[in-house]
Structure 1
C-alpha cells in the first residue's frame, strides 16, 4: 500500500507523515502527472492493483479501512483479480 500526494510540496508531505505517524510510502506527484494518467478527479481516490499491475478495483472518497465491509471488499478483490476498465 502506498499513497500519492498530488500537487503537494515535499516539506508539507513530511510534516503530514510525521503528524499522523504514517509509516507506509507516500509518493509525491507535484505536477499531477500520475493523477492525469489515471483520470483521478476526486480526493481521496483508491486503486486496487493486482500482482500483474492491473487495476482490479477503484473507490472514491474516504473509507474506514478497518470496517468489516472494507475488509470483505479487499478479500474479494484479492481472490478475484479481474481487471476493471479505465476511464
Structure 2
C-alpha cells in the first residue's frame, strides 16, 4: 500500500486532526447552544415563579381592599339609615 515514513505520518496525523475537528466542532456547538438555552429557560422560569407569587400577593391585597370597602360602606351607610328612621 504505502510506507509510513516521516512525511506520510505527518499527513496522516494532520488528516486525523482535521477529521476530529470536523466531528467534534458541531458537537461542541450544539452542547453550548443547549447550555445557553437552558440558562435562558431557567431565568424565564424564575421570572415566571416570582410573577406568579406577586400575582397571588396582589390578588390577596385586592380581596382585602374589597372586603374593607364593603365593611366601611356598611358602617357608613347603616348609621345614616338608622338616623333617617328615627
TM category (shorter chain) comes to under 0.3
Higher helix share: 2
Which structure is higher in RCO with an 8 Å CA cutoff and minimum separation 6?
A: 1
Provide the TM-score with structure 2 as the length reference: 0.18
Bigger CA radius of gyration: 2
| TM value normalised by structure 1 | 0.18
